[in-house]
Amino acid sequence: MPAVIRARDVARILEPYPPSEWTGDGWLPGYRVAQDGRRQVNVFHDGPGEADGLDTYRFELQAAGYCVIPTSSPAAADAASTSPDRDPPPPPRDWGGGHRKASTMTEQPCPFCEIVAGRAPAQIVEEWPEAIAIVPLNPVVEGHVLVLPREHVRDFVDHPAVSAATMRCAAELVAGLGSYNLITSKGRAATQSVPHLHLHLIPRAVDDGLALPWYSGRGKRVHS
């Protein structure tokens, strides 16, 4: 992937679909792209069918090798109200309850997106339509696996429906297998090392000596 992503390159990928156009009275249904710095382009869908339209654009861009992050941002939609070839911008719009966008990023592709797309190697344990389970590079115990969604979401609060579907897959994987920890994190301070939702499934045994991430090893002192 190039170090710089350009809105016109994203627009070329979406050429099979109708672009949105400002008529003076409103927006015609279709896609719209807007540059957002050197490494990000925002993709919007105007008009009816927003959810289906954004899903279609996401699949096309992921197939082309882009990392796509669904977000919800009325402010970004208003700030990015022009495409590279549209000037001046039309009047601001009322986005109602909020407008979703699909943001594409480059520079450093998401390693889990690369695995899902088959461009990076991994030992796959199980696959579902919405998720896969893999062996991590450095498992803490035998049987340690990661369950991650095929769709790129940053963490477990970024897209609750995707998080729930990923949790269901994890539950199916270890149902009836004894004691397990299920651990996921949100943010670097919480030990999240890859900004793509993933669930650690770690088999446990009595006195296995494996500490949880928040265990410091220091016991509480009891004063008498």
Domains parsed from the chain with CATH numbers? 7-105 (no CATH), 111-203 (3.30.428.10)
Q: Residue 107: pLDDT band by 50, 70, 90 thresholds?
A: very low
Compute CA distances 40 → 4, 10, 46, 61, 74, whole Å: 8, 10, 19, 13, 17
Query: Is the model's pLDDT at 75 over the cut of 70?
Result: no
User: Which of the residue ranges 129-143, 157-171, 209-223 would you say has the lowest mean pLDDT?
Assistant: 209-223
pLDDT tens string 151-208 = 888 899 888 999 999 999 999 999 989 999 999 998 888 888 888 999 999 999 998 8
**Structure tokens of 131?**
């998720």
The reported pLDDT for the residue numbered 224 is: 38
**Structure tokens of 60?**
């096309």
Give the mean pLDDT of the chain: 76
The reported pLDDT for the residue numbered 72 is: 54
Query: Is the model's pLDDT at 55 over the cut of 80?
Result: yes
Q: Residue 116: pLDDT band by 50, 70, 90 thresholds?
A: confident
pTM flag (> 0.75): no
Query: Is the model's pLDDT at 70 over the cut of 80?
Result: no
